[in-house]
């Protein structure tokens, strides 16, 4: 960004730990002002304190993506206080149905998973788009998973798989709908990272997993949109 370019503002859901925290750290290094969204205000304050000690300019805001009022309040507060909202990273998610079969699921777990992983990201995107339209610029990055790829679909984790496959579909729909608006929408599968959701099956750190999400969050205006990425390499839907 040049001196004449306004400082971009990013909101990251589930930004207080793991991948979200790693993305927050990296985006500040790219010159963005970052707001960490977290359900628990204390966790948000702790994350801000930790990053501030490293010299990163961040703040936090209470954000529960399953609560429409919380989403509306967070987006409005960020846009009003910062004067704009440019980047949204839909990172908040749950993985609570390991091994659950599709033929005999716990539908309460299905409901909770879809509400957080799909509806939550959808709700937050819908709230953020009008703010992005005001400046003709936006970057929406949806954190997905290889488990949601139709070409890699298999048994187990059914609610999580369905939620991420649907998130991939939403990514393509939003990207097509927003074409020409200056708002680019993409999804990224960061791989099996060393986070709480990985059940110990990891092959890379959250810091490594942040590479592609940060790249997508800072794309130039002629960057891709509607794509599903993994380590900067396009994947089939």
Q: Extract the tokens encoding 189.
A: 């599968």
Q: Which residue in this structure is represented by tokens 């003709």? A: 136
Active-site residue 137, yes or no? Answer: no
CA distances from 88 to 25, 151, 213 (A): 15, 27, 11
**What would the two tokens of residue 64 be?**
């529960």
C-alpha neighbours within 13 Å on the C-beta side of residue 79: 20
* Residue 2 · residue 187 · CB < 8 Å: no
User: Rounded to whole angstroms, how far apart are CA atoms 184 and 206?
Assistant: 24
Using DSSP bridges, classify how beta strands 58-62 and 228-230 pair: parallel, antiparallel or unpaired: unpaired
Q: How far apart are CA 11 and CA 9, in angstroms?
A: 7
Q: Are 131 and 75 in contact (CB under 8 A)?
A: yes
**Which listed residue (95, 110, 142, 160) is catalytic?**
160
Give the DSSP per-residue string, 182-213: TEEEEEE---SBSSGGGTT--SB-HHHHTHHH
Q: Could you give the residue numbers annotated as active site? A: 160
């Amino acid at each position: 960004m040049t001196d004449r370019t306004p400082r971009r503002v990013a909101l990251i859901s589930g930004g207080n730990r793991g991948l979200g925290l790693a993305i927050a750290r990296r985006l500040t290094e790219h010159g963005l002002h970052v707001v960490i969204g977290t359900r628990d205000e204390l966790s948000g304050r702790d994350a801000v304190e930790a990053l501030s000690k490293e010299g990163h300019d961040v703040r936090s805001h209470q954000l529960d993506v399953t609560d429409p009022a919380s989403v509306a309040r967070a987006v409005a507060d960020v846009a009003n206080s910062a004067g704009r909202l440019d980047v949204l990273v839909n990172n908040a998610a749950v993985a609570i149905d390991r091994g659950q079969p599709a033929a005999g699921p716990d539908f309460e777990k299905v409901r909770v998973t879809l509400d957080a992983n799909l509806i939550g990201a959808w709700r937050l995107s819908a709230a953020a788009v009008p703010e992005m339209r005001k400046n003709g610029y936006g970057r929406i990055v949806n954190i997905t998973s290889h488990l949601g790829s139709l070409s890699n679909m298999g048994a187990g984790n059914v609610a999580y798989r369905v939620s991420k496959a649907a998130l991939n579909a939403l990514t393509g729909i939003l990207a097509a709908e927003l074409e020409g608006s200056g708002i680019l929408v993409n999804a990224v599968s960061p791989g099996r990272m060393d986070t709480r959701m990985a059940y110990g099956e990891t092959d890379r750190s959250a810091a490594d997993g942040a590479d592609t999400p940060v790249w997508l969050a800072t794309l130039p205006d002629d960057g891709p949109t509607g794509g599903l990425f993994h380590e900067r390499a396009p994947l089939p839907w």
